[in-house]
Amino acid sequence: MNTETFSEGAYQALLQDIFQRFPSVQQAGFSGGAYKPGLEQMQAFDQALGCPSRAFRSVHVAGTNGKGSVANMLASAMSACGLKTGLYTSPHLIDFRERMLIAGLSASQPEAQLVPKEYVFDFLTRWMPFIEEHNLSFFEITTGLAFKWFADSKVDVAVVETGLGGRLDSTNILQPELAVVTTIGLDHCALLGNTLPEIAAEKAGIFKSGVPALVGERQEAVADVFVEKAWMLCPLIFATDKEPSLWYRHEEILEQMDLRADVQRQNLRTVLTATDLLKGAFPALRDDASLLDGIIHTAHYMRFHGRWERLSDQPYVLADIGHNPQALGYNFAQLERLVQNGRFSSLIIVYGVMADKDLDSILPLMPRDATYIFATPSTPRALPADEILRRFTAYRATPSAGSPAAPVRAEAGAVSAGSPAAPVRAFACGSVREAVQMAVRLAQDLSGPESRSASAQLLAPPLIYIGGSTFVVADALPFFGR
């Protein structure tokens, strides 16, 4: 029996100890023991905890991009239909408890509830001897914590997102009602494989015997991999080959959704196909009105941040945690369309990236007509902003990068915005906060009376986009009071 006494100070001290001794991949990357592929330790932990993974029904979600949105939309929809629904995702932005929550069930309490600090404290102190003896990873610890909390809370169902890959992911001890794979892209190649088929094979590792498997998109390069993995094992459905029962309303739903990125169109199709497949196991999902209410208000109901999230209206600021070429390709293209169609007058991009990301593949995707403020987020994994600026400038100065070569005015440090008559193109700042402050000043200058000609009033405002990494968005949120 745990004899430790909870207090805020004791809780914070315990968390600090856990973070230092069992670093997360989010903070430490994939070196130093933070990433431990394989199921043996997780199975042993689950067994010691009393097999909480078997105490609730689940939906398992994997994929390179879109899995967080799909998982949150599914959890919100299931909760809105009256099911007590847990959600386990990663990474977190501010508080690691964001990884595990139980969705609200009523109009008076619509927002999801984080796992209580008292529960976390009791769990960690009670199970510290086992954690130390088996040298569990941070992700194994939090997975065990989430599953135990869901079991103790008697959830009807939990939507569980894989941390990395699928086959060797700690969450893969589940026996779900449905396995979902969203999209496949090149990310974490050193761990999952250097080709799309290799990565798809790892994601398909969540397929289980007799359990329907839903793949969000039929991608030519990997479709055969999923067909092979599902052969004689489980039913396989591609969302793009189906028309979900509510798809005839998809334009109306997309218009109302509080998840606004263009990519949510495909995610919505995946979610509506998933809910059709789940209606046999969960008849409550046949309530179309409640189901759609949950999907439409996912960001609000689930405390879901950093996905094309509007942080401010004046100036207009969007933030998104998309970090790999596939996700950023969607985002940058949508940003360009917003300026080209006259919704915004200009584009200011605050961007940071982790050192292990494929910046060379991202540089060609960056909008050419934008002001860039590169930032170094507060993590040892970050690529310094000066290095991003150097590589960006070198790329833009190369004729092969575009026709013709694009001159770049590049400066380091958080300098003043200068005159709108001589617009800056690229800066480097030592922190995200400095970068955001500069972006706001630039937007204010571009919106001010001195930037408007007598013959043409600047009716559309400038747009600030903050992205490139979870850490960039996390560092920016406090600036906007989040």
Which residues lie below 8 Å from residue 352, measured CB to CB, with a gap of 6+? Answer: 374, 375, 376, 377, 382, 383, 385, 388, 432, 435, 468, 469, 471, 472
At residue 26, the pLDDT reads 54
**Contact predicate 67/88, CB 8 Å:** no
* CATH architecture entry for 309-480: Alpha-Beta Complex (3.90)
**CATH 3.90.190.20 segments of the chain:** 309-480
**Contact predicate 426/409, CB 8 Å:** yes
Tens digit of pLDDT at every position of the chain (482 positions) = 465 789 999 999 999 998 888 866 555 555 555 556 789 999 999 999 999 999 999 999 999 889 999 999 999 999 999 999 999 999 899 899 999 999 976 555 667 899 999 999 999 999 999 999 999 999 999 999 999 999 999 999 999 999 988 999 999 999 999 999 999 887 655 556 679 999 999 999 999 999 999 999 999 999 999 999 999 999 999 999 989 999 999 999 999 999 988 889 999 999 999 999 999 999 999 999 999 999 999 999 998 999 899 999 999 999 999 988 988 998 999 999 999 999 999 999 999 999 988 899 999 999 999 999 999 999 988 999 999 999 999 998 876 654 445 555 555 544 433 334 344 489 999 999 999 999 999 999 887 655 444 444 457 899 999 999 999 999 999 999 86
At residue 415, the pLDDT reads 40
At residue 188, the pLDDT reads 54
Q: Would you identify the CATH topology of the domain 8-301?
A: UDP-N-acetylmuramoyl-L-alanine:D-glutamate ligase (3.40.1190)
At residue 424, the pLDDT reads 45
pTM across the whole model: 0.88
